[in-house]
Amino acid sequence: MSDFLELAGRRYSCRNFSDKPVEREKLEKCVEAARLAPSGCNAQPWKFVVVVDPKLVSEVAKTTQQLGINDYLSKAKAFLVVLEDHAKLMPRIASLYDSQVFAKGDLGGATLSFCLEAESLGLGTCMAGMFDRAKLSELLDLPLDQRYFLVVAVGYPAREREEARPKLRKPFNEIVRFI
């Protein structure tokens, strides 16, 4: 198995964070990995807000806890808020497609790059797609019409894992067709 496949296999959605604070240097490395992600027409349709102030971290966690779920995110020590920015496509492409046509895929790639770098540094992450956008805009002092992609909880896992738990994924032959 290649080192990357091992890393991808180890990464999981952490639902139990320790009390250990996350070093700023590690968060910066994770954001740098996200920044380097590929994007359609190199548009880089993203902005990132890294929330580290403990009081604000607590408030951001609450925005993800709608419908009585995601209580475990209260233990996160930081959050990455992934914002969708306007993509500037090459003129020939822009004449055929909406400016944001590639943005969701680009944002997904950038977010995964962040999470994989976090895993390589011993950090745990959990992506949350459900959050109170109005409250988040207020907390982060962002315009109400800001497009959000994901909120990612970050912290050290509460306990060391000796080996990666098996991933429950569809079998390879059910999702792949070589022609």
Tally of CB atoms within 10 A around 58: 12
Strands 78-84 vs 124-128: parallel, antiparallel or unpaired: unpaired
Between residues 94 and 31, the one the model is more confident about: 31
- What number is the average pLDDT over the span 77-94? 92
Amino acid at 143: P
Output the pTM of the full model.
0.92
Between the alpha carbon of residue 152 and those of residues 7, 90, 116, the distances in Å are 18, 30, 12
What is the pLDDT at residue 164?
A: 58
| Runs of H (alpha helix) within 64-102 | 91-94
15-155 placed in CATH 3.40.109.10: yes
Question: What is the DSSP code (8-state) at residue 74?
Answer: G
Sequence spans of domains, the chain: 15-155
Q: Can you give the three-state secondary structure of 57-70, one letter per residue?
A: HHHHHHHCCHHHCC
pLDDT digits (tens, 9 = 90+) for 116-138: 999 999 999 999 999 999 999 99
Please report which confidence band the pLDDT of residue 2 belongs to, taking 50, 70 and 90 as the band edges.
low
What is the pLDDT at residue 94?
A: 84
